[in-house]
Amino acid sequence: METNDQQWQRSIPGGLIHPNEVQVWRAFLDLNKAPKESLLGTLSADELSRASRFRFEKDERRFIGARGILRQILGAYLQKPPQTLQFQYSSNGKPILASTSGDDSLQFNLSHSDDVVLYAFTRNRNIGIDLERIQADVEIEQIANKFFAEAELKAIEKVPESKRNELFFQYWTRKEALIKATGEGLSFPIETLDVSRVDGRVLSPILLPSDNGERSRWYVQDLLPGPGYTAAIVVEGGGCGFSCWEYCG
Ligand SMILES: CC(C)(COP(=O)(O)OP(=O)(O)OC[C@H]1O[C@@H](n2cnc3c(N)ncnc32)[C@H](O)[C@@H]1OP(=O)(O)O)[C@@H](O)C(=O)NCCC(=O)NCCS
């Protein structure tokens, strides 16, 4: 699917996800208002405890809103009350559905930036998603030197200065989505991964250094989450179709 086809149709979650399908949901949180009771009331005791530990109220509201909506969407897919769902976490903190959910094929990942949240859902394959606001006031050179591959640095240098931040965040989201799909988080040597040759308009293979030039099992595509933001999704294995939905709960 070309990124231009991303329509973000407004919808209420429900229905099925087929094995070769990826559904992406976008939600906007109102961080100026206390979270709705209907979302707050679905969180587990450990989620509420985590929420209460955020230093800033906006971060607490973002976590509650994003988790609450995650539970609503998963509950709709699984036909279960959102508050009955249980999560477990990988050693690097990636949340997955606990086996008690009754459907261990359903995979998901989410990313939030400011008041926007993106969720990705699929079946039987690992998935990662990353969303970033394209910030103008970031010292990209310093960060890129630490986390980007040589080819990525060269590609950023080549574009006009006005486009550099956009390209920086595009590469950043591709790299982050990959480490979120594998679940490795910060343990992945991110500077050894080159995403500059990827055609992000379509689902394209992303070669890992450990692939030694062989076929990759990971595929990446850029998303168009809205003006001022960039995002990417990584799925295990290719050949799947995307649909993009706007959450209205
Ligand atoms: C989770 C992580 C992988 C991404 O965090 P982030 O970009 O700050 O935050 P995002 O909003 O994109 O994602 C957070 C969500 O991802 C999920 N998550 C947490 N740990 C995860 C992991 N190891 N793998 C996949 N998903 C994870 C959670 O659902 C989390 O949301 P929650 O806290 O509300 O439950 C972060 O721990 C990290 O390692 N960042 C790497 C930073 C870096 O140096 N990047 C260089 C890239 S060039």
Domains in the chain: boundaries: 3-123+240-247, 131-236
**Residue 6, Cβ density class (10 Å: 0-12 exposed, 13-18 middle, ≥19 buried):** buried
> pTM value?
0.94
114 token code pair: 């400011």
**Residue 138, Cβ density class (10 Å: 0-12 exposed, 13-18 middle, ≥19 buried):** middle
CA 154, CA 200: separation in Å to the nearest integer? 18
Q: How confident is the model at residue 186 (pLDDT cuts 50, 70, 90)?
A: confident
236 token code pair: 């295990």
Ligand 1, closest atom to CA 93?
20
pLDDT(213) > 80: no
CATH assignment of 3-123+240-247? 3.90.470.20
Residue 130 Cβ < 6 Å to ligand 1: yes
225: nearest Cα among 233, 217, 237, 235? 233
Residue 84 Cβ < 6 Å to ligand 1: no
**At the top level of CATH, which class does the domain 131-236 belong to?**
alpha beta
117: nearest Cα among 241, 8, 4? 8
Q: How confident is the model at residue 210 (pLDDT cuts 50, 70, 90)?
A: confident
Name the percent of the chain lying above pLDDT 90: 76
CA 30, CA 28: separation in Å to the nearest integer? 7
pLDDT digits (tens, 9 = 90+) for 67-77: 999 999 999 99
Shared fold status for 3-123+240-247 and 131-236? yes
pLDDT(156) > 80: yes
Ligand 1, closest atom to CA 147?
48
Residue 175 Cβ < 6 Å to ligand 1: yes
Output the CA 184–ligand 1 centroid distance in Å: 10
